[in-house]
Amino acid sequence: MAKSAAPLTQAQLLRRHLEETSQDLAAALAGFDQTADRDLLEYYLYEISALRAKHTYLLRQMRSLERQAIP
């Protein structure tokens, strides 16, 4: 039988979410740069704004977690 992977720590989970959000943001920025359709531009602007807010939130969570770890 295959061993199950150890559960992720909160820091590892936050790092994973940060990486995924960064990748999603890069894809949204690329999509914005490659379209001329007005509706899609509006969509990408909304998505970029939402992903930046999510990224900022995750960074705050990570910093808070790091501060708690410092004795």
The predicted pLDDT at position 39 comes to 94
Burial class (CB in 10 A: 0-12, 13-18, 19+), 29: middle
Predicted confidence (pLDDT) per residue in 4-13, tens digit: 677 878 989 9
The predicted pLDDT at position 4 comes to 65
d(CA 43, CA 32): 9
Place of tokens 């039988």: 1
